[in-house]
Amino acid sequence: MKKLFSLITMFLFFNSSIFAQVGINADNNAPDASAGLDVSFTNKGFLPPRMTTSQRNSITSPAEGLVIYNTDEKALNVYNGTGWKSMTPPQPFACGLNISINHVVSGGVAPVNKSVTYGTVTGIPGEPSKCWITSNLGADHQATAVNDATEPSAGWYWQFNRKQGYKHDGTTQTPNTPLISSISENLDWQSANDPCSIELGTPWRIPTYTEWYNVDNTGGWTWWVGPWSSGLKLHEAGFLGSNGMLNARGSLGYYWSNSQSNATLSWLLYFDSGNCTVFLYPKTGCVSVRCLREN
C-alpha cells in the first residue's frame, strides 16, 4: 500500500510539473503569476545551449523563438520563424566597412547555408551617394579577374521578381528544381522578394534601371574594362539557362535591375569583350545580383 501511495504521489508530482508553472529558487518556490518558468538567483545565470553556426544550422525545423548561444559570433541567436537572428547590438553602418551575413536556406532565398563577409564601397561615378557591396550576392569573395569562372566568385543567380537564389557549381544546380519557364506579370521587382533586402537587411536592395544607367553612362563603360576597373569590380559571372545549365561564366556579365519594361521584359546591365549597356532581358533569365543602399 505504501508503495502504491508513493507511485501515485510521484505521478501527481510529475504531471503537475508538466502542466503547472515552475519556480526554481523562487520565493517559497512560487513562480511569478505571469511566468511559466521563474528562475531566481542573484549569483547565477541562465545558460542556453552553446554551439557553432554550423551546428546551429543543422537543427531540423527550429521552432520560432528557439534560442541558442552562438560560439562563433559570441552572441545569442534567436530563430524568428524564417531565419536565425543574432542578438549582437547593431553597430552604426559606415560604408567602406565589411558586413558579415549568415545565409540560411530556411529563409527561402539562399540555396545553401553559409556565412559570407561582403566588402562595401561608395563614391561610384554616376551614383556617388550610394553604397554598394563589392562582390555578387552569394559569392564567397570578390572575383579575382573579370573572366573569373569559379563558383565562389560568381555567387548565386535569380529570375526576375523571385526571391529564390540558385547556386551552380559547374555541374549541379542547387536547389535542383526546374526554373520558371514563363513569367508574365506587370510588376517591378517587389521589395518582399528582393534578395538584397531579405539577406542583407531592409536598407539594401537591387539597383534601379536609372542607377545602372547612371554608372554605365557616367563611367563611360563601353566594354568589360569599365565595370571591372570600377570600384564595383563587376565580372563576367554568366547566367543559368532555362534548362538549369550554366552558361558563359567567365565571358559574359549580366546584373539585374529591379525595373521592368513590360510584363515579360526587364532591364539589366550587360557587358562582354565588346559591349557594355543597360538593355532588356526576359524575366525568366537567371542572372547575378549586386546590392546597394543609401549611404
Residues 137-195: tens digit of each pLDDT: 999 999 999 999 999 999 999 999 999 999 999 999 999 999 999 999 999 999 999 99
117 and 35 within one domain: no
58 and 145 within one domain: no
Domain contains 102: no
DSSP H or E segment with residue 17: helix 2-19
- Cβ atoms of residues 40 and 24 within 8 Å: yes
163 and 57 within one domain: no
Residue 157 DSSP one-character state: B
Q: Residue 26: its pLDDT value, please? A: 64
Q: Residue 7: its pLDDT value, please? A: 45
86 and 21 within one domain: no
Q: Among 154, 151, 147, which Cα is nearest to 169's?
A: 151
Q: Residue 101: its pLDDT value, please? A: 94
178 and 56 within one domain: no
pLDDT < 50: residue spans in the chain: 1-2, 4-5, 7-17
CA-to-CA distance for 181 and 179, rounded, in angstroms?
6
Domain count of the fold of the chain: 3
Q: Residue 19: its pLDDT value, please? A: 56
115 and 57 within one domain: no
Domain range spanning residue 247? 107-294
184 and 272 within one domain: yes
Q: Residue 27: its pLDDT value, please? A: 64
267 and 190 within one domain: yes
123 and 22 within one domain: no
254 and 234 within one domain: yes
pTM, rounded to two decimals: 0.74
